[in-house]
Amino acid sequence: MEIINFTKMQGTGNDFIVIEDFQGKYANLEGLAIKLCDRHFGIGADGILIVTKSNIADIQMIIINADGSYASMCGNGIRCFAKYVFEKKYVQKENMKIETGDGVKLANICIKDGFAESVNINMGKYNFNPSSIPALSKSEIINKKIEVSNKEYYITSMFMGVPHTIVFGKQEEYQVEEGKFIEHLDLFPEKTNVNFCEIVGRNVIRVKTWERGAGPTLACGTGSCASVVAANRLGYIDKKVEVQVPGGVITVEIAKNEVLMEGPAEITFEGEFFLN
């Protein structure tokens, strides 16, 4: 029997299990994530975050979804990760570089009484190119009409660290579970996250997300960023926006061709898991 030390964290309700692995001893991360993220027989989470060494940044984050699939980037996850490595004193910098599957991201820590009160992440560039999403389309997918299960949707798709598809409309018009049908469309060979976005005003939107590999979540950082970018592209909103998600509030700003995201990150509890 192996004992795994872990920290449970959440960012606007999107929850993660943080595990240190500087020696690379966990070879089967897929199986580990499935076991730990099970909310009945494990700890329960939307995914696991592995803390490990980096040769190109201050630290490296590896993300595995609850179903065992790999994710190159996670907005809420990286805020939790930055808080963790700062407060555990692995990286004692207000501005730290974190290696992810989507490249090196810059995290700015807002410190209060020695703790990371909030985290601002430069999420990098967004991309509407279908080959980058990837999507089987010859042109950008902007407000494209599709029909799934006898229901019409107008979708906008892009790459924001991971694939995202946005559907605009009133929140009550859609059940978040409808996202699973869009996720598995042949249009998206590697599947897609799906965000249902309601425009409240020029500076406020509401977003609920069906996450690829996790299902409905209380928040999605990359999804919030993608929703802001898509809504701005369509002329619905300005460039700095409050994003209301079921688990709280995230602030997203488009700066030139990059996206900045700020929001909370909290430690829920720490413990030991007995791995059979």
Q: Which amino acid is at 242?
A: E
Asked whether residue 127 is domain-assigned, the answer is no
pLDDT given for residue 40 in this prediction: 96
Together in a domain, 102 and 183: no
| Among 76, 127, 130, residue whose Cα is nearest residue 230 | 127
pLDDT given for residue 264 in this prediction: 95
Together in a domain, 148 and 243: yes
Query: What confidence category does residue 185 fall into, taking pLDDT thresholds of 50, 70 and 90?
Result: very high
User: Which residues share a beta bridge with 50?
Assistant: 19, 62
Together in a domain, 151 and 115: no
In which domain, by residue range, is 184 found?
A: 144-256
pLDDT given for residue 256 in this prediction: 87
What's the pTM value of the predicted model, to 2 decimals? Answer: 0.94
Together in a domain, 174 and 228: yes
| Among 193, 196, 176, 177, residue whose Cα is nearest residue 185 | 193
Together in a domain, 15 and 109: yes
**DSSP conformation class of 232:** H
Asked whether residue 137 is domain-assigned, the answer is no
pLDDT given for residue 157 in this prediction: 98
Together in a domain, 36 and 94: yes
Asked whether residue 104 is domain-assigned, the answer is yes
Q: Which residues are annotated as part of the binding site for substrate? A: 14, 65, 75-76, 193, 211-212, 221-222
The tens digit of pLDDT for each residue in 90-102 reads 999 999 999 999 9
Together in a domain, 240 and 267: no
Together in a domain, 24 and 43: yes
Q: Exactly one of 74, 80, 197, 225 is catalytic; name it.
A: 74
Asked whether residue 78 is domain-assigned, the answer is yes
pLDDT given for residue 144 in this prediction: 97
Q: Exactly one of 37, 80, 220, 225 is catalytic; name it.
A: 220
Q: Is the pLDDT of residue 234 over 90?
A: yes
How far apart CA 67 and CA 181 sit, in angstroms, is 17
Q: Is the pLDDT of residue 66 over 90?
A: yes
pLDDT given for residue 22 in this prediction: 97
pLDDT given for residue 1 in this prediction: 79
**Has 74 been annotated as catalytic?**
yes
**Has 80 been annotated as catalytic?**
no
Evaluate the omega torsion of the peptide bond into residue 134 and state whether it is cis, within 30 degrees of 0: yes
Q: Which CATH number characterizes residue 85's domain?
A: 3.10.310.10
Q: Is the pLDDT of residue 123 over 90?
A: yes
Q: Which residues are annotated as part of the binding site? A: 14, 65, 75-76, 193, 211-212, 221-222
pLDDT given for residue 232 in this prediction: 98
User: Taking residues 145-157, what's their average pLDDT?
Assistant: 96
pLDDT given for residue 227 in this prediction: 98
Query: What confidence category does residue 257 fall into, taking pLDDT thresholds of 50, 70 and 90?
Result: confident
How far apart CA 243 and CA 246 sit, in angstroms, is 10
Asked whether residue 239 is domain-assigned, the answer is yes
Structural domains counted in the chain: 2
pLDDT > 90 fraction of the chain, expressed in percent and rounded:
96
Mean pLDDT of the chain: 96
Asked whether 178 and 147 are in contact (CB, 8 A), the reply is: no
Together in a domain, 118 and 12: yes
Asked whether residue 49 is domain-assigned, the answer is yes
Together in a domain, 195 and 252: yes
Torsion of CA 247, 68, 211, 180, to 10 degrees: -130
Together in a domain, 156 and 104: no
The tens digit of pLDDT for each residue in 189-231 reads 999 999 999 999 999 999 999 999 899 999 999 999 999 999 9
Asked whether residue 135 is domain-assigned, the answer is no
Query: What confidence category does residue 168 fall into, taking pLDDT thresholds of 50, 70 and 90?
Result: very high
